[in-house]
Amino acid sequence: MKTKDWILCIFSAILLILSFPKFNLWILAWFAFVPLFFALRNKSKFKAFLLSYFTGVIFWLGTIYWLVHVTFVGLVSLVLYLALYFGVFGLIITRQPLPVTRHLPFAIHHSLIFIPSVWVLLEYLRSHLFTGFGWGLLGYSQYLNLPVIQIADITGAWGISFLVMMVNVFLYKVMGYRLKVKGKDYLLAILFLVVSLFYGYYRLYLSPFTFHLSPIKISVIQGNIPQSIKWLDYAKEQIFERYLSLTSEALSDNPDVIIWPEAALPGVLNQDGHLKEKLKAFVGECGVPLLAGAVYSDKSAYYNSAILISGNGEIAKRYDKLHLVPFGEYVPVKDIFGFLETVVPIGDFVPGKEYTVFSLATRGATQDARRTAQDARRFSVLICFEDIFPQISRGFVKKGADFLVNITNDAWFGDTSSPYQHLQASVFRAVENGVYLVRAANTGISGFISPYGEVRTLVDEDTGSQTFISGYKTYDIALSRRQNTFYTEWGDWFVLVCLIIAIYGALKVKG
């Protein structure tokens, strides 16, 4: 391997990093892999693995560097693990040249379909293996490219990853082989891109969202509580008073519901009688339902929960987080990894068991028994990084949620690109399920995302800052009794198609 090969790998990694937040140069993702493909040209499988793995290490270091604010050991370990998927990708798509392929370093003639399918399968595997880390999907780089991401309501985010990778392969073939590229390759790439863009423009401009229900006005509160004082006894009153003060300001907008972030309450709700009674009294006095993130205990078990307090000050319903953060909220296989509790700050939570759907009365609806289900607004809550798992959002919407709420606390990672990368996942969950998604984050980003993935409005300052500031934002979201999207109903069918293509391609090579 030559120095040029390593430089090409670094160039690919940098282009990929720049296509994600905070840079958001999404256009770069469409050709970011081209330098890597040139580096892999005519390489053995072992060398292809090393070059691709090196690219993955650089990319992940530049993308999740913010994890160093929590644990350096965890950052290094996770980067080395995630880079394996890049390495395996290079290993699979590279082979010794055959005359019939005109020295193309890819496994089959139809590399425009095979290579993107392999990439999607690896992203899917990464998103599920060892509880899953579905962060930084290639398709997420396009979260600001609204026409392109509309196909997510059919294919999920996987379809956008496929499309971006396919264009990368096409550009490589054009740049590397010019007139030797077959006409059907041009046609295939252009067809996929044109159909996707046409569908996107149709969804955005020709198929307007129809509102059959009256709007609901929501206020999100961003407390901006430093992680260093969040659980200190002396800071409890200070934290609580900040949330009450911001909520009092938001009440001037006459919202239907107010939302606090994950673990906003500075204590275990049902163990701190003073905190609980003060909160219930405040909500009862203002008469507006409040959804708040809280730690809740049940016997000896502790849950990361979302609590809905009704307008009369009573606890109406609770949701316990289903998917906990490994090595963050619990230690998997404690007999082996128990020592990590001394290395990183790890909680000891128990996962919930139920896909909970909350209900809110329509503004002005009567409260008597004659009120029908049509008078209620139903929503579900994604706590922390649950919004990076499409199957959880789908489960809530299939249960009847009219919109989704993400409450989170990203203060752990400092004023970095982390909350912006987290926002990407929320955008795709909104598009995939065709619903509004409301975010309330302790240090940001808090705001409202439309069913088309448009970030409508965010908590911000006059300077434009959206993170590590305190404030609130109120917005009317209009809802519709709509049919579930294709993706909501059928889930990850596109991944199955990619699996069939990949198996067919592998068998073709063996033959």
User: Is 384 considered catalytic here?
Assistant: yes
**Order of strands across the sheet that contains 358-361:** 358-361, 376-383, 403-408, 437-441, 447-449, 455-458
**What is the 8-class DSSP label of residue 40?**
T
Q: What is the DSSP string of 367-430?
A: -STT--GGGEEEEEEEEGGGGG-HHHHHHHHHTT-SEEEEEE--GGG-SSSHHHHHHHHHHHHH
For residues 487 and 309, what is the distance between their CA atoms, to the nearest angstrom? 32
Task: Decide if 199 contacts 431 (C-beta within 8 A).
Answer: no
Burial status of residue 6 (CB atoms within 10 A of its CB: 0-12, 13-18, 19 or more): middle
Alpha carbon 105 to chain centroid, angstroms: 33
Contacts of 343 (CB under 8 A, 6+ apart): 71, 73, 74
Burial status of residue 373 (CB atoms within 10 A of its CB: 0-12, 13-18, 19 or more): exposed
User: Is 314 considered catalytic here?
Assistant: no
Contacts of 503 (CB under 8 A, 6+ apart): none
For residues 228 and 413, what is the distance between their CA atoms, to the nearest angstrom? 12
Helices 157-177 and 493-510, axial angle in degrees (round to 10):
40
Tokens coding 322? 């289903």
Amino acid identity of residue 461, one-letter, is: E
Q: Of 276, 384, 386, 473, which is the active-site residue? A: 384
Helices 3-18 and 45-63, axial angle in degrees (round to 10):
40
Q: Of 321, 329, 386, 432, which is the active-site residue? A: 321
User: Is 262 considered catalytic here?
Assistant: yes
Q: How many angstroms separate the Cα of 216 from the Cα of each of 60, 256, 359, 476?
A: 40, 6, 12, 6
* 492: number of Cβ within 10 Å: 20
Beta bridge mates, 405 = 381, 438
Q: What is the DSSP string of 124-151?
A: HHHTTGGG----S-GGGGGTT-HHHHTT
Q: Which residues are catalytic?
A: 262, 321, 384
